[in-house]
Amino acid sequence: MIFPENLIIRDVTLRDGLQNEPVFVETDEKLKWLEGLINSGFQRLEVTSFVHPKWVPCLQDADDLAQQLPLLPGVEYDALVPNRRGLERFLQTNIHNAVFFLSASTHHNQANLNKSTNESLEEARELISETNYHGRGTFGGIATAFVCPYAGVVPYSEVERVAERLVAYGVKELGIGDTIGKATPRMVYEYCSRLSEKFPDIPISLHLHDTYGYGLANVLAGIQAGINMFDVAQAGLGGCPYAPGSPGNIQASRVVDFLEQQGIETGLKADTLKKFDGEFPELLKSKEAVK
């Protein structure tokens, strides 16, 4: 088995963790969360989405938040860019990487983005090219890369087809998502090892949910397949509003503790992350109580 010396852990709490919450966390509070996350050791963080506020009210402050992000050596920020207007907003910020997000399952893509996967790919082509032209990082996020809530198991060939198009269009990284947590370790290993072999020069990350308790086993399967970056959220917050049965992302403190038990370094402070497990949900509860 493969046990690397270290791995990159990317925090997605401020975007994916909050996007489906019924309350709004103010910009100042988000910046406090961000400060705590950076102080705990995170160097890669997904901080917001430039989606229309009507669709994701919790991220309505994307522009204000982006202008106040602390620019620190070694710290990179990612933001989801859904369309041309989103790209225009993104390019007015200092955020490092644009995440272009679509689904391997066209059924989920239709529910999530109101267009087919092929239509989303065509739209992404020009946006990726323009982002590269401006010297920003480009990240192709593939949701429902294993199982779709509407159509069941997604064939590997479809995931590879989408990845191939994104790489051809110029993305510098790929992110593979188990959107509803139904992927098995065997499936994760097979899909990710084939993608790693197909795209040896493209960093590939894994975005997992823990709906059925497979989260940590899937982390280990991803490591064996050559994945070296994993997404986490504090307290397991998050979930896609267009993916029934997707309660949250894999929990940061559990992942870090699991990796440390295998002698794998993450550069993160496990004790601090365990404290966040109580603090972040309590803040959300208090806001909901006074809503």
Structural domains for the chain: 8-289 (3.20.20.70)
The catalytically annotated residue of 58, 148, 192, 240 is: 240
Q: What is the pLDDT of residue 244?
A: 52
Q: What is the pLDDT of residue 176?
A: 98
**20-35 per-position pLDDT tens digit:** 888 999 999 999 999 9
**106-133 per-position pLDDT tens digit:** 999 998 888 999 999 999 999 999 999 9
Q: What is the pLDDT of residue 213?
A: 87
Q: What is the pLDDT of residue 291?
A: 61
Q: What is the pLDDT of residue 240?
A: 56
Pairing of strands 152-153, 147-148: antiparallel
* pLDDT surpasses 60 at 246: no
pLDDT category at 212 given cuts 50, 70, 90 is confident
Q: Among 106-110, 218-222, 270-274, 287-291, name the most confident range.
A: 218-222
Q: How far apart are CA 21 and CA 7, in angstroms?
A: 29
Exposure string over 77-103, b if 16+ CB within 10 A, otherwise e? bbbbbbbeebbebbeebebbbbbbbbb
User: Would you give the DSSP letter of residue 67?
Assistant: H
Q: What is the pLDDT of residue 290?
A: 65
Percent of the chain past pLDDT 90, that is, above it, reads 86
Q: What is the mean pLDDT of residues 242-255?
A: 76
pLDDT category at 164 given cuts 50, 70, 90 is very high
Percent of the chain past pLDDT 70, that is, above it, reads 96
18, 237 Cβ separation under 8 angstroms: yes
* pLDDT surpasses 70 at 239: no
- Give how far Cα 160 sits from Cα of 74, 174, 192, 281, Å: 31, 11, 10, 37
Active-site residue, 148 included: no
Q: What is the pLDDT of residue 150?
A: 93
- Give how far Cα 273 sits from Cα of 140, 203, 279, Å: 28, 26, 10
Q: What is the pLDDT of residue 171?
A: 98
* pLDDT surpasses 80 at 282: yes
Q: What is the mean pLDDT of residues 150-168?
A: 97
Q: What is the pLDDT of residue 238?
A: 83
The angle formed by the CA atoms of residues 138, 163 and 104, to the nearest 5 degrees, is 110
* pLDDT surpasses 60 at 175: yes
Rounded to two decimals, the pTM is 0.95
Q: What is the mean pLDDT of the chain?
A: 94
Q: Helix H segments across the chain? A: 27-39, 62-67, 84-90, 106-113, 117-133, 156-169, 185-198, 215-224, 252-261, 270-289
* pLDDT surpasses 60 at 257: yes
Q: Within a 10 A sphere around the Cβ of 17, how many other Cβ atoms? A: 27
